[in-house]
Structure 1
């Protein structure tokens, strides 16, 4: 039996899902790849961006015009400003994922010697060139969790990719997609080496586009919920569907979490002979808030940031007028999924509206 997924990428064999490739403008992305562009796709945490990027990788490899590599660089986050350690971690990850795409032995099986011969500030670029030399088609590189990297490691990765840009497509990836929570213009990277703050735009000035993966549409939320009815025969009442939409404003994790709680955790919801009602959805909401699920608990960390508080506190006090809040801070808070700028500037959904004041009260 499939279920509503609240942890990790979606697998449509195991989870109720909206097909990931329908969640963004696939023709637009394919055009950028065809034009050999380097671009950014960003979205708040647990919005489905990793699922979408994995689906894009599989689509490109199946289509056959490109060879696509997906790499998650979060493994290098703990290196912080240690560039050598961070690049070694990324090379290890790159070698691992390339083994499945290229013939054995992998062109990166001697990654230790690549690092020793070229140094921390060039080894990643050399490794990517080696992969392109053996690739039978233009290489598309998808780098996920790019903004999990810290300080000089992030600067080094961005600059090594920028340095190889002019060698594409034969000696460097034809297209690179940087995937993270924030748009690159929001990066404020403190360099221990250069003793200054480097902006993402200056470190990666070859970005062609910034695309944002949004929430579900209202119709997608309905479709996802009714997958449960198709699978189990259990009715989900119309008022319950409306409540899920209104409480979450279609934020993907919240939709899945509410539905999972209502359908798989609450006793009356587990009984498939009983319908899922609005009252069950409201009970599920209270349970999520009281437990401070991981997704909701992450809000606490974000609310510690001065840039976020400069936006959130005026909204909560009723003084959230865009003209008195720095525009960059508004973009940043919106990228994190905390606020919406559609219509009146406000907290992005009623569940966040309820839990954010509690967090702020508790932290003061």
Structure 2
């Protein structure tokens, strides 16, 4: 069978295009920690290749002949919740079963059963690992994956049992234990850890290398113009990179003819299909938006608010560990695809209630009449914002999300909306592209419009002045000839007649339509 892009790990190098997992981490550092009998944490966001890397590490270490290395996924113990005894029983049995399955220690299940019959689960893992280490002719390296899915007393019991045997390593306890998961794990209950290592995304060079494997195998070529957009859209997030490769080369049935050049336009179509698909990875992302700590950070980002002082460092670290944001060079959503998905998913059920038809906003030249469209939005916002803001889960960014949902409903199936927001800027930028020729699409003439969304906090004149400068700079950066500044007044004491207005201003030679809502 020919190799292909995979979106459901772990990677099998004989079947899948892949970056060598052993090149995705500092192997020299990890080998040093193992040889030095250290216990440490290795974490990475979901679907970044962590499991594939751990399995490759197990194979390399076992082939070296120096260690008996075992990888164990203990996510099954998550169902125990706070029942520590039940959770530890599951972990104990899982370790034993995997040792048997990998042929590392076939007798371990029987040993685990004997221990669980005579010893409290609160010490069973310590006892199992101690006896196994004494039986093993080689030092043991144990990798426990999905540790951070355990909660409360279950997690604490596991960490304390590992800590209890730590001083007996390597003769009567594993030489090295690696705790793996999405987040850094342990805290004071695992104060024996030497390091917390984080596995990152692909580099741009690795993205190109991955796609080159497809070209080498099939002869199909990716236009170089694909890669700058792909990089901005994914920032090298491995699942997204593979999913887009799969969309371009397989889900697009016409591209199964390998003489077909993968153009930038084909890439953009694949990107939109992926976003609309609500695939498993993207669905998991939207589920995370419901978590309290995620909500606090993402709400501030979507609204462009400068509330960083009110955010907890632990919350920021947690959301970064999940892969939803980056904190350098500034706090921002991780990549452009996540920037697209997050507001769409928050409002998708509301978008269906918007009944305006796209054709109503088109001029005879097939341009979007932005004045007519935004005038309609003002009325829509006036009539519906109270109801929407009651139901939206992200009320802090409600006005921004309502306008984005309104625009998304209008441009679906024809145009594109690009979103830019970062914490502390107090505004959100939208960049709208609309092809004027239905046949040529984005290869023909394209209408380019920028919109800047701001919340009125104090002085209206200053808000307008700041907004004009910002939207003008953004328009010049995007090459847009149309610019709009939308200012939301959330003061309940101000009437709708006062809030709703429209005037024309200028930033240098650029005409800017300014809207109040």
Task: Name the TM tier (shorter chain).
Answer: over 0.9
Would the aligned equivalents of 2:70 and 2:104 in 1 still touch at CA under 8 Å?
A: no
Query: 2:183 — aligned with what?
Result: 182
Q: Superposition pairs for residues 93-112 of structure 1, below 5 Å?
A: 93-99=94-100, 100-102=102-104, 104=106, 106-112=107-113
In structure 1, distance between residues paired with 2:82 and 2:232: 42
**1:173-231 alpha-carbon deviations (Å, 9 max, x no partner):** 111000000012xxxxxxxxxxxxxxx31211111100000000010001001110001
**1:314-348 alpha-carbon deviations (Å, 9 max, x no partner):** 11111256444222211111100000111121100
Query: 1:243 — aligned with what?
Result: 229
**1:246-282 alpha-carbon deviations (Å, 9 max, x no partner):** 2111100000001101101112222211111111111
**Large movers: runs of 4+ above 6 Å:** none
Query: 2:68 — aligned with what?
Result: 67
**1:41-96 alpha-carbon deviations (Å, 9 max, x no partner):** 00000001111110111110011111111100012111212223222222222112
Structure 2 length as normaliser, TM-score? Answer: 0.65
Provide the aligned length of Structure 1 versus Structure 2.
348
Query: 1:226 — aligned with what?
Result: 212
Per the alignment, in what secondary structure is the counterpart of residue 305 of structure 2?
A: coil
Query: 1:353 — aligned with what?
Result: 339
Q: Superposition pairs for residues 1-364 of structure 1, below 5 Å?
A: 1-99=2-100, 100-102=102-104, 104=106, 106-184=107-185, 200-320=186-306, 322-362=308-348, 364=393
Query: 1:28: how far off?
Result: 0.3
Query: 2:383 — aligned with what?
Result: none
Per the alignment, in what secondary structure is the counterpart of residue 115 of structure 2?
A: helix
Would the aligned equivalents of 1:322 and 1:345 in 2 still touch at CA under 8 Å?
A: no
In structure 2, distance between residues paired with 1:152 and 1:210: 22
Q: Point out where structure 2 has 5 or more consecutive residues left out of the alignment.
A: 349-391, 394-517
In structure 1, distance between residues paired with 2:52 and 2:157: 27
Structure 1 length as normaliser, TM-score? Answer: 0.92
In structure 2, distance between residues paired with 1:283 and 1:323: 40
Would the aligned equivalents of 2:41 and 2:195 in 1 still touch at CA under 8 Å?
A: yes
Query: 1:110: how far off?
Result: 3.6
In structure 1, distance between residues paired with 2:224 and 2:308: 36
In structure 1, distance between residues paired with 2:147 and 2:105: 27
Deviates more, 1:133-142 or 1:16-25: 133-142
Q: CA 1:134 to 1:252, structure 2 compared with 1: closer, same or farther past 3 Å?
A: same
Query: 1:116: how far off?
Result: 2.0
Deviates more, 1:278-287 or 1:82-91: 82-91
Query: 1:196 — aligned with what?
Result: none
Aligned CA RMSD, in angstroms, stands at: 1.4
In structure 2, distance between residues paired with 1:256 and 1:129: 41
**1:114-172 alpha-carbon deviations (Å, 9 max, x no partner):** 11211110111111112101111111000011111222221111111111111111111
* Larger relative contact order (Cα-Cα within 8 Å, sequence gap ≥ 6): 1
Structure of higher CA gyration radius:
2
